[in-house]
Chain A
Amino acid sequence: MKQFLYFGAFALWVALIAATPLLADNYTIRIAISIAMFSAMAVSWNFIGGFTGYPSFSTAAFFGLGCYAGALAQRNGIPLVMAWVFATLFVAVFAAMLGAIILRLKGHYFAIGSIAIVDLTRLITSSWGSLTGGGDGLNVPLLQGSPQEVSALVLYVMLAILIVAFLTSIYVDRSRLGFGLKCISQNEDAADMVGVNTTSFKIVAYTLSAVFCGAVGAVYASWVGYIDPTDSFSILLTLKVPVMVLLGGAGTLLGPVLGAGVFVMLEEVFWANFLEWNRAILGGIIVFLIFFLPNGLLKIQYRTLYGALVQKLRSAPKQAEKSS
């Protein structure tokens, strides 16, 4: 029953986003692409941050490597789709190998280590000029077609990545893997003791948290046509994605999608209206989130909230009567 609800809500939302090229202008499509792409990354992050409870901040490293791997593959003559696939696999292998090393760390040390990965990949990309173009960035072969066709194509590819990520998360949630990840998130020693191969489970979760970001990065690079280290490996991105998941509800299935959608739209509103204060407003949202929505939008006790509201409304007229 619950599963159907999830599927239904998700399908409706995806359909709505998918309809934008038919209904709306290019600006709206651009937002739709943003939503699809951040949703896919948020769903991805949820594997390690939500299910497994590891405070991973390496999203931007995976995204950025996806950008560069895709771009470089194309520049070396690999056809578009193959280049995207290559980038995805490259990032997956990278994450699995990296995970085997840094997942030994826990808590604060893991957090720091995972952020350092972003800095490190950016620094290496910047200084390896002969391969990556260094700080000057890299031009990526443009997608063929009119602007409308290109944005529709990018949107559908991003949505496809999102759908695969989402289905994977549903599958993981119900499987042995997901069960083990939840055990790890609550008590890693106990998980070990009941026979969960914690090392390999964590590596799988970390790889899942990377693979869709890699795919998104590769497609993103083709869409924008130009990438540079600062944009591709941005600390802002690496923190934004977890915030989206927290906003929706970490460890839930729909939370990351909901959080990413709400966040991107809020951000869009602030960009449009308060350009200068955009960053501060987002910071304000984060602070608000931590204090007032610690479990995310999905886990609000809406019933209690509704009850409290009704009670307030009921008592308000009485008070008004008294005072009059």
Chain B
Amino acid sequence: MTEILRLENVSKSFGGNRAVNDVSFSLEEGEIIGLIGPNGAGKTTLVNLITGVHPLSAGKVIFAGEDVSRQQAFQAARRGLARTFQIVQPFPKMTVLENVAAGALFGGGTGSVEDALDLAHEELKFVGLDAVADTPASSLALPNRKRLELAKSLAMRPKFLLLDEVNAGLNASEIDGALDLIRKIAARGVTILIIEHLMKVVLSISQRILVLHHGELIAQGDPRTVIEDPQVVEAYLGSKFAARVKAESHHA
């Protein structure tokens, strides 16, 4: 197994507020990693640091062996570090197809606009949006907007995909659909880091879990160990929940 992403003592302060504090970890290629933590724990900020949206206050980000601590957002995209936004960010007046083509053309480094549109078609089929390819992105309902975000990121040919709460706001069956899709993406060899509040979802999909609390990484490891970690139970899960999950996983 080869390492794809490593964070070394990464910190970020906004004014006096330490949103991310001295976080270090290393991720393997091909994994699906869950990132959990209470609201305001610094999850989104961490994604922003990895993808060059915010400059680091301290520490290093190593992606595929290269120090990318000083990269800008567009450079991250071109390197194969794609992400979705917690609040979906389409190009509202463009068609769904053009939205995805933008990912292919710039992040994916496709040569011409035509090629980008072709590739966009494929990705739309992959996520199941080909029927609405020519409608404006603004007309999509939330589940499809989330899929559009995914298609856009995939068109960027990412090596690493960071998904910030892609399931938030979806109902149970929509979530199942989204999870199938995420597994399909992982099967393409893309490493995935997924931020998710629903523990059931995280546990079902992640091979490894990172837990952030007050900007600090308080636990990491395989799902079973992490949810039994007393610190995690205290900070995030609550003891009742932990007991329930434990019971459920014993039955299964």
> A residues within 8 Å of B by Cβ?
174-176, 179-180, 182-183, 186-187, 189-198
Contact = CB atoms under 8 A, between A and B. Distances in A.
Q: Interface SS of chain A: helix, strand, loop or mixed?
A: helix
21 contacts: A174-B113, A176-B113, A179-B101, A179-B102, A182-B91, A183-B106, A186-B91, A186-B94, A189-B89, A190-B85, A190-B90, A192-B74, A193-B53, A193-B73, A193-B74, A193-B82, A194-B102, A194-B107, A195-B107, A196-B74, A196-B102
**Interface size grouping (class) on chain B:** 20 to 34
Given A179-B105, A186-B92, A187-B91, A195 B113 contact: no
Given A176-B105, A179-B105, A179-B113, A195 B89 contact: no
A179 B99 CA distance: 10
Contact of A193 (B85, B92, B105, B112): B85
Interface in B99-151: 101-103, 105-109, 112-113, 116
B78 interface: yes
A193 B83 contact: yes
Given A194-B107, A196-B106, 6 more contacts: A176-B112, A176-B113, A193-B51, A193-B77, A194-B106, A195-B107
A183 B82 CA distance: 17
Contacts of A174: 113
A182 B112 CA distance: 16
A195 B93 CA distance: 19
Contacts of B113: 174-176, 179
B91 A195 contact: no
B156 interface: yes
Contact of B102 (A175, A189, A191, A198): A191
Contact of B93 (A180, A186, A196, A198): A186
Contacts of B78: 195
Nearest to B100: A194
Interface string B208-249: 000000000000000000000000000000000000000000
Nearest to A197: B74
Given A179-B113, A189-B89, A198 B105 contact: no
B12 interface: no
A195 B92 contact: no
A193 B94 contact: no
A252 B82 CA distance: 31
Interface in B139-172: 152, 156
A180 B106 contact: yes
Interface in B35-88: 51, 53, 72-74, 77-78, 82-83, 85
Contacts of A193: 51, 53, 73-74, 77, 82-83, 85, 89
Contacts of B89: 187, 189-190, 193
A196 B85 CA distance: 16
B91 A190 contact: yes
A252 to B, nearest CB: 13
Contacts of B107: 194-195
Listed from nearest, the 9 A-B pairs whose CB atoms lie closest are A195-B77, A195-B107, A195-B106, A190-B89, A186-B91, A192-B73, A194-B103, A196-B106, A195-B78
Which of A187, A190, A194 has the most chain B CB within a 10 Å cutoff?
A194
A194 B156 contact: yes
A189 B91 CA distance: 10
B74 A183 contact: no
A156 B34 CA distance: 66
Nearest to B106: A195
B193 to A, nearest CB: 15
B106 A187 contact: no
B91 A183 contact: yes
Contacts of A197: 74
Contact of A182 (B85, B94, B152, B156): B94
A91 B178 CA distance: 52
